[in-house]
Amino acid sequence: MKIKYFAWIKDITNLEEEEINLDKVKNLEGLKIYITEKYPDLKKYMKKKVLRFAINQEYIVKNTNLSDEDEIAIFPPVSGG
């Protein structure tokens, strides 16, 4: 599946998007664990619940199974308008 990062999250991941293998990550909670291991600097933001998640351009709060075609986005609170 494709993971996209926005705003200052990109400064931590050093990339805008990446493909993640479904074998490692089955659902949103699994993804959270996976990326905090991969990017330890994300951990404190994960703990503070600062990060927002979207699956296929819809906000997701509860744990959800992920499929290979999903586009996941991880980003900080928005500041549009």
Partner 1 sequence: MIKIQKEDFNSEVEINKIKKLHSNVGAVSSFIGYVRDENNNKAVRSINLEVYQEMAHKQFEKIINEANLKWKLEDSLIIHRYGKLEVNSKIVLVACFSKHRKESFESCNFIMDYLKKDAPFWKNEFYGDKNEWLSNSN
Among 2, 7, 41, 63, binds partner 1 (CB under 8 A): 7
Which amino acid is present at 55? I
Q: Are 53 and 15 in contact (CB under 8 A)?
A: no
Q: Which CB atom, from 19 or from 58, has the smaller least distance to partner 1?
A: 58
Examine residue 69 and tell whether it contacts partner 1 (CB under 8 A): no
Decide: helix, strand or coil at residue 38. helix
Cα angle, residue 1 at apex, residues 21 and 11 outer, rounded to 5° = 90
Among 21, 49, 59, 62, binds partner 1 (CB under 8 A): 59
Q: Are 39 and 22 in contact (CB under 8 A)?
A: no
Examine residue 73 and tell whether it contacts partner 1 (CB under 8 A): yes
Q: Which CB atom, from 14 or from 21, has the smaller least distance to partner 1?
A: 14
Give the footprint of partner 1 on this chain (CB under 8 A): 4, 6-8, 54, 57-59, 71, 73, 75-81
